[in-house]
Structures are given as structure tokens and as C-alpha cells.
Structure 1
């Protein structure tokens, strides 16, 4: 009868948790993270060890990669051949690894991300420096464990004659842990390790006098000493890596940017493609061509400029918007005592030194044992030579080898090992020369044993040996540093001219919020006709601007929209345009009240805001320059159902006139309102009666001697010479009455405007009647005059809005 099934009654979450825990432990320890001692992940260690065992070393010919991969899979790493070959290829790529551990013949990939040739085509062998990782592995320097099928053994770590973890770096992702350790300069790292041995209490600052920072195989420039210092102290830190480039002159006054080194692990083909896309999409201006001229002599990417192109500006744009500059985040996690640990620079060096102490101690113990065994044999041989005739006679009288050994031990006191050596001795070794050689060997063995015992008996001697071996590796393999370290991270400033082709255009914005820009050619072709808009709409702004300018659009809710001209929809003059809500989302009930064109935010100019409830706020224009523009920004803070009704750009010397619905007018200097920040609500401009609101607030310059145009809800208009009819006062007062109060059907101000005789004013009524009024046809009146009627209120309804005709 078959065995019944054994079922465990366990909750699912417990089973999954348990299984995932086992899996996590496996991939953390056995797959994705490097060991702090030799800087290798298990698959890399197995590849190097398999090649070493196979004699596939640097002084021998290259061997097919497929043979090595098969060897690794068959003996040590029972996983897919692709993963083994990929790991093998990476160890041979001199743009990924600072000191390559495998030399490869054939296509082993490229900076452009091309795949390597299949393993049946490529050939490989260990590099000279890889042999330093494996040196002395057969002298009991490290522990071995059985392989997966118990047919052979593999090392759990390599002896590692240099601090490979820092020299070649590492990158990997496992469950709950990731590691990113950049490559460093071999000579610097060895100097750092020696410093830690000589001065165990040295600081990160001391170490950074020798280990300057990462040294990437692709070179480049690293910026941010503070980030390096933090990473070396804590294991985590951030630096900026940028490509190396120069600007070269060309014929005809043009320039070209030449990029010769890229940031670490950046795909060159993708970078060139991205640069070309930015050029084609006209995100950046002034580039004639981007091309890749890389050949066997090295990386060379050319960005050729047009005649008026700004090479330095384009380079900055590419630093900011492509992988020509990247941020590298240190995350120095390695396996220490079978546990993942985030480590600083000194921790890593200290762990490596401890490993070396163990390696040298174990090697010395192994060599000492061998030396003592040999010394014992040599002593026996010397003794045998001194009584040679007797020894020969004894051997000749013996029955066989076993008997000879027994007789030698019995008669002359030789040990079993010595007797074995004597009976195996070849006759030619009995010459006079060989006796001298034996004596010389005995003396050498005595010295060797004394030295090894000294090493094993003294920490100082042990460290001396490690230092000597490290210096030998440094002398043999250290090359020039490739990466330049710069102290500060440079702030990249991009001129708008680099991103935008400078072009004069006509910009139009309507009161209902429809916006567009048109070429001057399209505008000229319309013969001065109005831009297309809805019947009920009117033009709020129509102005010639440059694509490098910015339009600030203000709403009644105290917001402003930051609209660079080059981002506005480009339409023909006769087309409607696009609603601003499509560019920046605003509320359905939010209305546009004013638009101001800005060429330069750094000019000493100010924005003055007037609100319905009688507040005024003045802020420097530069405070309204925005980086983010995807949503409405705060222009001023509004209280208690207040609304922004007027916004003006001033130079600090303007005068302000405010009119209230009930007919009061107040005139004062703009400087009466002090400067505040963008989010402030400002100060009181006019002292309102109960039930009164501001009908309008306008600015003027006294030297212009302008008139004030007033329209009432009953359709009456008048103009007043401000200087003659109003008294200049200070803010927060009631002001002077500008209309004669009538008991029956009193006039209420619908709007005001500062005008000259050339202006034409437009009035709009409730029933959407639009009435033009030429200012030159109005005579100036005093404050107590209610003006003259230009519309029939009974027929058209109240006047609800007035504006200056822009044509």
C-alpha cells in the first residue's frame, strides 16, 4: 500500500512568509550582494576560481568562453548559462570594471549597449590582476565547502591580494537590499588600506587625503566633495557625475562641443539619440547636427553648432536634460559575516585588512608546516650522506623497500618519513655538489622557519608582510587616475535663448480667456482686422512680444498663470486660440482680469493689485518669476469673498486713483503701500462705506497730465482732469465725491479708465450692447457733474463693463 500523503495544516501567510524568508536569505547571501573581503558575488567568484583551476590564466593562450561557462555550471553554479556568461562578460568590460578581471577576445559588448557575441565565438582568460585575487588559494588560506553535488570543493571567499570591492565597485539588487559601490583607483585604495593599518584611529578626512573619491573606468568629472565625504562616513551619499567635454572653434566663427568621456554606465547610443530628439523637437536651439565619431581611439561625440548658436548654453541644457550629467547614489552594502551591512569607507578597509591578516596567518602556518616537514627530511638526508656506505650496505642487505625502511629506522634512528626519502633518493644526488646543496637548503629552511615563526608571533610583522604585498600589487598594476574630482556641485543655469528660437510674434488674450500667438506675417496678412473671438468676448491684451518673453495672466481669485510665450499655442490670426484652462487648469468660475507682458524679471519693477473690498498690495516683479507653471500660482491673498479687480506694472513712482461704486475717488502715491511678499494680502487702499465696493483702480504718472474717464450704470460718461478736480491725499481715506448724488435713480460708477484724447472707450451693457465713445468728443467737467448720456438705459440695460479699445 502506498504511503498516505502527509498534509500540514498551516495558515497560508505563515507558509508564504517562511518560504519567502528562506528565498530572501538565499539571494542576499548567495546571489546579489558582494562579500566585503574579496568584493565578489558568488557567480563571479566561481567563474574566476573555475578558470584558475582549469589553468586558464593570463600567461596561457585564450580559451573558448563556452568551455568556461560549461565548467562553471557543471561544477559550481547550477544555473542558466546566460547568467554565467553575462557575469563573465561584465568582468571583461573595461567601461564597467576599473581593473578588468577577465581578458576577452571577440565582441564583448560596447558603450552603446550592444550585446556581446555568443559564448561559442568569444575566447577568454584570467587577467594578470585577477591572479592576485586567487594567489595562494592552494595554501589553505581560505575555507572551502563542498559544491552543490559534493563532487568537488569551492572556496567561500578568495584570498584577494588587493581590496577588490572598492577597486572595481559593485552593483546589485536583492530582497530588501541593494548595493551601489563605485569603482576606485587601485593605488589610492591600497594607500588607504596601509593608512588604516599604520594609524587605526584615522578619520574619514584623513583617508580622503589619499582616496580622493571614485575613479570611474569611463573617466568623467565628479562634483560634490561633501557627498563623497558623507558616503565614506555613512555608506550613503550623493554625487554628480558629468561627461568631459570641450568647446572647439570651427571655420566661419562657428563652434562645436566635443564629448570625450561619459558618466559611468551611461549608454552612449541612447544619449546621442536623446540629444538628436531634443534638437529635432526644437526643445533646444542653435544646434546644426549631433553625430557620434567614436572609433578605436576613444569616445568622441560631436555637437556642431549653427553660426549664432550658444555652445556653452547648449552644453548646460544637455547637462540638465540628458544623461550627460547624472546623479550617482552611493549605497555601500556588502556581506559581512554572512549578513548584509551598510558600511563606510573605513569599515570596508578594516574588514579587508582583517581578511588579509587571516589569509597571511593561514598561509604562514601552512608554509611553516611544509618547511618543518622538509627540514626534517633534509636533516635525514644530510645524516644519511655522512654515513653513506653503511646506509647503502643496509639497503642492499634488505629484502624490499619496506624492509629497507624498517632496517634504516632500526639501525640508524631515521624516522619513517626520512627513511622514505632515503630509499627514494636517486644515485646522482650522491655527488659532492648535492651534499652542498642539501646543506644550503637546510640553512635556507632555517631562515624561512625563523621568518614564518616571527610573522605568526608578531602582529607588527604580520602587518609588515601585508603592506609589502599590497605595495607590490600597487607598483605592478596602478595606472593613472581617470576621473577628476571637483569640490562643489555646479548649479546649472540655462538661458531661455538656448531653448527657444528668438522670434517676434503677436500675442492675443481675450476677456473670456482665449489665448494664442501668431506670426507677424499672419497678423500683417489680416490687414489690421480684429483677432477671431466670440461675439460676447472682447480683447484684453493684443501685443507684439518675443518668444523669449513671458505673459503673466491674473485672475479674480488672486491667482496668476505663468505663460512663457514660446509655450503658447501657435495659431493663425484669424483662428480662435486655446482657452488658458487647457494650458493651466483654473476653476470654472475663475475669470481673467489682467495680463502683463514681461521681458526681464530682474528689472526694478513692481506689481500693484487692487481688490474689490478696497485693499492694495505692492510686490517686486522678480518675486513672480516661477519655475513650476503647471498650476495657478498665488499672486495675492484674498479675504472674505474679496476679488482682485485690477493689476498694474509700475516703476515705483506712479500715482494711483481709486473709484468706488458709490462715487468716491481717492488719489495717492503708490509708495503709500509698502512692499510685501507674493502671498500677502496687502493694506487698505480706500475707506469704504457700508455696501460700497471698488469700481476700479488705475495708475498714472503725473507728468502725463491725463484725464479720468468715468462711466455710470445709467449710461452716462464724463472725463475729469485729475490734477484739477481731485486732491492728492493718502491711502485708507474715504476720498472725494465724483458724482452729484440724486435722490431718484442715482448714478453708480460702472468703471473708470485713465485716458488721453486719442483714446476710444467701449461700454458694454447687460443686453450686450457695445457702445464706442471717443474721449476727444467729451468736454472736461468738475466733480459734481454727472456727465452726458451715451446709451438709453431703458432700452439696453445697465452698463456693466468698460474698457479701452485696443485698436
Structure 2
């Protein structure tokens, strides 16, 4: 190791903290955040200053953008050329900046997000209003610092003859800070600045009488005056920006929504694509075509609708689900006194006014110094002309210029500056005309010096000059306001029936979890036969409904799946359906136990009854099952340990519940004994089970049900009168409905109430299927084991008793 080297033992976190701290300070102060005084980030300021130095102004020819980028990189901003060019292009985009600071010839990108042409193809120059940011920069109005290699000087801030931070706004992200300042109307901002100058104690409410709110380059409708006021008071607030949409009648009685203004920073091409996807996915009924008819005359997006389409409902849906309406959050952070600060409107105006005081003071001092120096010279020239012959004689007698100056200073008490001006005087200036001109100039200089001294000695005069400059900029550059402001944020209400085409469909669900939405036409073409499904699978639910309904699927894990019917795929009756796991992810072992169609959640006063394998029961209001987000399974009942949900059905509140256990016990009680609980509750005890028993089936019995059908694992089926079973209390054991056998006792597979005209089926392990018509069975007594309908020695144990109706 060399003697000059020295090792330090410093913790890594200290090193990282120090380095990141320095980096953070740099990107906060020198990259991402604008200065409160001129509203510019360093790269923007350097671009404008470089163009000014090169004379690339609005009254000159355009120059290649590459030349400007090269000058900026070489002299002021030692970073990548793309970052400089991107910043320069943004200053020229009329959909990004309210008042353009750079004028560009050639392709400078588009509102569709198209990239600009390479800098070697485009040409640019400063805009007229950008020159107002740089006005008087050569009069020592602002501080200059050495550039990165000390070869030249650059300004730390521009003089800024108007409050650019508010006029053009700013957006940026740095370390720990971000900024979002919207653009405003130039005339309104200047009026607010003048009000602040005249009334230092004016409030935000006072200022809002002249500065009504943001004014975005792309126009649009701004909603939420309270949000604007809050942002102006605190620096943070929220508004809604809505597109400008009108209605137009087309040929053939059709109507169209015409969009002519969209929110700022919204990519038009992506917006059109999203609206067209909504049309293709049929999320909304009534959109025929979406066209982008934008041309050089202005933005125009046409959404062509059907004759009878509900345009208000469609528009509301588009507001809610696309960037046709966006939220804008104020976050007015700017660099003030070299520090990032969240600033209110008065604070921003005060920072600008203080800057202008400094600029005008410095300019006045500079002009006073120049005027005083010129006055001194003019006084010398007038004095010399009054003794012209002596002066000429003195100069002729001198040996050289230096000798002439020394003699003039010695003999006539001229100063060095006056002597220099006299010896450099051209002969034609000795005419009477020029003498008069010098006297007039002396008077003008005296008057100008008096004005400048008044400005420097009186704050009111100083402020008056600032106001005059601002009024000049307003008169020259202010245009019409583009964004319209509405007081309240309009609440968007979407009624599903208004935006979805009401079509009759048939919904089916299979035991293995395949779901299908089919048109009645496809069903009729197959006469309801040849249903497409996997071998060994079976249909557990089939019902006619409309596309405005919702399908609820309940799973063995105590979850439910929420599926709006209009979002389900339209699949032919003969084709295999879509597995539920491809729509909403579920666990591999999770099984669908029941399905229900809900037409209206809000007005639905029914409940869902849940029954678990371990005998817990719960009721939950159907209304609580409605959700806005349904991309994953939702909790219907909380299950403990290895418990499973075996039953989920709709009840009216006046029904009876029957629980049947595997060992042959049946319990009948009023559903009113089960309290109504929330979705995440685990329920209460429904039946008192023996240690080796579990609930095999459950059913809800309405008043019209007077008979029960029971099936056992040995393939036996029996029908019995409901009044055999006494109505008991919840959480008791119930009564036995099978005769005990010492060898191979029967185990219950299912006990269900029988409605008039209903059919049932039994299914064995091997897939043997046997239809049962309860009306053909005789009633058995309580302890009968029923009649065998399957030979389970050949078919395997009976596994399911299936109620064979379109309700599943």
C-alpha cells in the first residue's frame, strides 16, 4: 500500500445514506422541480437561455433543433441529448403547454402519443412570449453562476415578465417530492398578481374573483370549486376534468356523441381504443362505432349510437370507466429559497412579486448606472463644444492620444471618460445640429435618471412598474379561456339496466365447475339435448334469466363467486362451457356446491342460508352479497379447521330448515332461530352431532312442502310425510328416520322436501343414473329404510340425491 493512501472503516449504510442524500438534493434542486420564481426546471431554463444567446428568437428564422440541443449540452447541461430534446419538444406541444415557449417546425409528436421526429429533422425558435421570460436578462437583473466547466456563465433564474409557474404549470417526480401544478389563464394570473400587489392582505376568496381556476391547454370541463379553493389555500386539492361532449343527429335517425375536448395529459389514441374495446366487449349496449375524426381543424371523436340507445347512461359509463373523465390532484411543490416547498396560491404570487421587485430594482440600478455614465459624457461634450477652439488647439498640440487626454484633464478638468469621448469625437459632430441634439439628450437623461431614482427610492413606484410590465404582457398575449369551470362535482350514477342490452339467456353450471351462457336459439336448435360437457360431469344448475342478472356460485370452502351475466361468454349449447377457474381463480380442491341467479340486490329482502358439514348454520342478507370488485373469490362464511360448506340456498325468512346427518338423524326447525350475520361471521350451531357423525344434506322447506324424499348410500329411497318429523329447536339432535341395522347400516346421502311435480335422480360411484318420480312412491313410516332402486354391489355406493329441476 502506498504511503499516501488512507483507509477508512465506515458502515455501508452511512456511505449509502450520504451518497443518496447528495443525489436526492441534486435531483430536487437541479432536475425535477420548478423554481417558484420563473416556473422552470433547470433543463428548460438552459434551453431557453441558450436559444436567447444564439439569437434564435421569434423574429428570426427557425434553426435546426440539433444545433440548439448541441449548444445546451456543450455549454450548460452535460446530460443525454434525448433528455434535452424531449424537454425542448414538450415546450413546443400545444396540448401540453398553455402558452408555448418554443415554436417548432416539423413533427413534434401528437396528442396520440406519437414520438416527435429526430432532432436533425425538426427546426425550432423561441416563441414571442418566451422572450418575455428572458427580457432584460442582459441588464444584470438576475444572478449568474459559472457553468459546469467554468467556461461561461448561466443564469440561476430568468427575469420572467409573467408568472410562468401558474401560467404553464409543471409536473415532476424527484426523491421524496412530486409536483403537479396545473396551467392557468395568463390574463387571470396577471390580474391576480396585480390584486396581490395592490392588496397584500387579500384572501384566496378575493383572488378567486379574478383567477377562477386552472385553464388546461386541451380545454375540458373542470368540476369542483371547493377542490380548487382548497388547493389554492393549502397547495393540495382535487378536481375532476371532464371531456366536452355534445350530441349530434346522424342520418337514419341515429345519434352520436361528439367529443371535441379531452382532459389534459390524456392520450387520445388510447382513449379511443378503450371506448372501442367497451363496444367490442359489449359492456355497454348501444354503441355502433367509434371513430377518430380529428384533423387540422381540431379534435373530434365520434361515438355512433343505436337509435334507441340511452345516451346519458352510455356517457356516464364512459365517464366512469375511461379517461373521458379523470381526477386531477393538485400538489403545488416548487423550489423556494433553494428548498422544495408546498405552496399556496398567495405564496406563489408573493414569491413571484418578490422576484420581480428584485428584477426591476436590478434593472433600474443597471439603467441608472448606464444613464449616469452617459450623462457624465454628454456634460463633457457640451462643455467641450462651448470651448471648442481651445480644445482643438490643445489636441493639435499633443503628441499622441494619451497626451491629448492628459492635457484636456489637466487644463480643463475633464474626467478620463469625458476626455476619451472628446478625443474620439468625429468632426461632423461639431455642427450646430449636434449641439442641440446633445442638449436634448442631456435633458432626456436627466428626466430618465430622475425616474430611475424614484423607482429605487419608492416601493410604490417600483410596484407600479411591475404592474405596467404585467399589463403589457397581458394585453399582448392573453387569449380566451379554454376550460369551463363548474361548481360541483357531478356524481355519476350508473343503472345497470340502462347500459346493458336485456337479452334472454340460459345459464348452466356443471358439477366440475364449467359454466355456460347460452342463447335460447342455440338451446332450441338442440331441443335441449346434446349438452356439451366432459364425460363423467353432470349438470347441477340450469335457469333462464336476462343479461342484467347476476350469477352467484357458492363453494365448499365457504366462498362465493360473483358473475354478472352480461360479462359471461356466449357459448353454444353443444359446446363445452368455460371452467370457472379461467374466470375467477379458485383452489384446486374447491368445489361448486350451489348456484343462484339474483336480479336485484337492492330490493331483495331474502336471505342466504349456509350449512356446514360440522353442523354450523348462518343466515346472511342477499343485499350484502353485492360488490363492485369481483375478480377473485369472496368470503361467504368463515369456516374453522377442516369444515366444509355443503349447502347455500335462498330463504324468505318464514321457511323451515331441515338438516339430515349421515347416521340417520333429521332436525326440523324454523329458520327464524338462525340470527342474520355478516359475511365474515362463522355462524352458530345448527344441530348437535355425535362424534362420528356429520351433516349429509340440508334443505329449506316452504309451506307448500308436505313430503320428504330420503336416499341412503346403499341405494335405498323412501318417501314420507313431513308431519312425521316434529318441529324442534336449533342445536338439538333431532329424530332418527332409519331403522338401525347391525350389519351394513344405511347412511343418509340426502333428505329433501318434495314440491308437486318435481323429479329426482340418484347417482352412484360408477356413474349409474336412475330417475325417480316421487309421486310413484308410497309413503313410508319413520323407521323404514325404504326400497332399493340401485344394486350398489354392482354400481358402488349411491353418492348423490339430485333434485331434477331447472333451479338445480
Q: TM-score, normalised by structure 2?
A: 0.86
Q: How many angstroms does 1:85 deviate by?
A: 4.2
Contact 2:718 2:785 in 1 (8 A): yes
CA distance in 2, matches of 1:582, 1:589: 15
155-164 vs 342-351, greater mean Cα deviation: 342-351
Query: 2:113·2:269 contact (CA, 8 Å) conserved in 1?
Result: yes
Matched, 1:512 2:502: no
**How far 1:141 moved relative to its partner?**
0.8
Residue 162 of structure 1 deviates from its aligned partner by 1.2
Query: Per-residue CA shift, 1:729-750, capped at 9, x if unaligned?
Result: 6645555x46375575776643
1:553–1:592: 8 Å Cα contact kept in structure 2? yes
Gaps spanning 5+ residues in structure 2: where?
Answer: none
Where 2:699 maps in the other structure, the secondary structure is: strand
Q: For 1:651 and 1:133, how far apart are their aligned partners in 2?
A: 74
Deviation at 1:600, TM superposition (A): 2.4
- Give distance in 2, aligned partners of 1:586 and 1:296: 52
- Match for residue 609 of structure 2? 608
d(CA) in 2 for partners of 1:296 and 1:151? 45
Does residue 164 (structure 1) correspond to residue 158 (structure 2)? The answer is no
Determine the structure 2 residue equivalent to 1:778: 777
Written as runs of structure 1 = structure 2, the 5 A alignment for 1:667-686 is 667-686=668-687
1:237/1:331 contact within 8 Å kept: yes
Which stretch has the larger CA shift, 269-278 or 467-476?
Answer: 269-278
Look up the match of 1:753.
Answer: 752
Partner SS for 1:481: coil
| Change in 2 beyond 3 A, CA 1:230/1:534 | same
Local SS of the residue matching 2:365: helix
SS in structure 2 of the partner of residue 138 of structure 1? helix
Q: Which residue of 1 aligns with 2:371?
A: 371
Q: Answer yes or no: is the 8 Å Cα contact 2:517–2:571 preserved in 1.
A: yes
Cα 1:6/1:292, change in 2 over 3 Å = farther
When residues 630 and 88 of structure 1 are mapped into structure 2, their CA distance, relative to the original with a 3 A threshold, is closer
Range with greater deviation from structure 2 (433-442 or 51-60): 433-442
Question: Aligned runs of 1:522-533 on 2, under 5 Å?
Answer: 522-529=522-529, 531-533=531-533
The separation in 2 between residues aligned to 1:633 and 1:79, in whole angstroms, is 51
Partner secondary structure for residue 627 of structure 2: coil
- Is the 1:167–1:184 Cα contact (8 Å) retained in structure 2? yes
**Residue of structure 2 equivalent to 1:288:** 288
Is 1:104 the counterpart of 2:104 in the alignment? yes
The 1-side partners of 2:715 and 2:61 are apart by 103
* Cα displacement string for residues 743-775 of structure 1 (whole angstroms, at most 9, x for unaligned residues): 757766432222134222223456655433221
Distance 1:343 1:8, change over 3 A: farther
- Contact persistence 1:382–1:435 (CA under 8 A): yes
1:468–1:542 CA distance, 2 compared to 1 (3 A): same
- With 440-449 and 428-437 compared, the bigger mean Cα shift is at 428-437
1:321-720 correspondence runs (5 A): 321-381=321-381, 383=383, 405-406=405-406, 408-422=408-422, 441-487=441-487, 489-490=489-490, 492=492, 494=494, 502-529=502-529, 531-533=531-533, 536-568=536-568, 570-604=570-604, 605-639=606-640, 641-661=642-662, 665-686=666-687, 693-702=694-703, 704=704, 706-713=706-713, 715-720=715-720
Q: Secondary structure at the match of 2:470?
A: helix
Q: Do structure 1's residue 48 and structure 2's residue 75 form an aligned pair?
A: no
CA distance in 1, matches of 2:466, 2:220: 33
Q: Using structure 1 for the length normalisation, give the TM-score.
A: 0.86
Choose 518-527 or 174-183, whichever is displaced more: 174-183
Moved more, 749-758 or 130-139: 749-758
In the superposition, relative to structure 1, how do residues 370 and 305 fare at CA in structure 2: closer, same or farther (>3 Å)? same
Residues 1:174 and 1:565: Cα distance change in structure 2 (over 3 Å): same
What is the distance in 2 between the residues matched to 1:734 and 1:83? Answer: 78
**Residue range with higher mean Cα deviation, 93-102 or 543-552:** 543-552
Q: 1:575-597 CA distances to partner (integer Å, 9 max, x unpaired)?
A: 44344334333334433221111
Is the contact made by 2:666 and 2:737 (CA closer than 8 Å) also made in structure 1?
no
Tell me the CA shift for residue 33 of structure 1.
4.0
CA drift at 1:670: 3.5
**CA 1:406–1:510: 2 relative to 1, 3 Å:** closer
For these two proteins, the number of residue pairs brought into alignment is 801
Distance 1:290 1:768, change over 3 A: closer
Is the CA contact (8 Å cut-off) linking 1:376 and 1:418 kept in structure 2? yes
Unaligned runs of 5+ in 1: none
Checking the alignment, whether the CA contact within 8 Å between 1:614 and 1:687 is kept in structure 2 is yes
Which secondary structure does the structure 1 equivalent of 2:601 belong to?
coil
Q: Which moved more, 1:319-328 or 1:225-234?
A: 225-234
Cα distance change of structure 1 residues 351 and 788 upon mapping to structure 2, 3 Å threshold: same
Report SS of the residue matched to 2:315: helix
1:198-222 CA distance string (max 9 Å, x none): 4556565655554443322111234
In 2, Cα distance between the equivalents of 1:20 and 1:773? 78
Judge conservation of contact 1:285–1:497 (CA < 8 Å) in 2: no
Q: Is the 8 A contact 1:235 1:330 kept in 2?
A: yes
Q: Structure 1 residues 751, 82: CA separation in 2 closer, same or farther (over 3 Å shift)?
A: closer
Alignment map for 1:299-310 (pairs within 5 Å) = 299-310=299-310
1:80 to 1:537, Cα distance in 2 relative to 1, 3 A: closer
Alpha-carbon offset, residue 125 of structure 1: 3.2
Query: For residue 739 of structure 1, what is the aligned residue in structure 2?
Result: 737
For residue 635 of structure 1, report the CA deviation from its aligned partner. 1.0
Equivalent positions of 1:194-205 (< 5 A) are: 194-200=194-200
Seen in structure 2, the aligned counterparts of structure 1 residues 803 and 277 have a Cα distance that, compared at 3 Å, is closer
Q: Indicate how the Cα distance of structure 1 residues 636 and 26 shifts in structure 2: closer, same or farther if over 3 A, else same.
A: closer
CA distance in 1, matches of 2:72, 2:793: 100
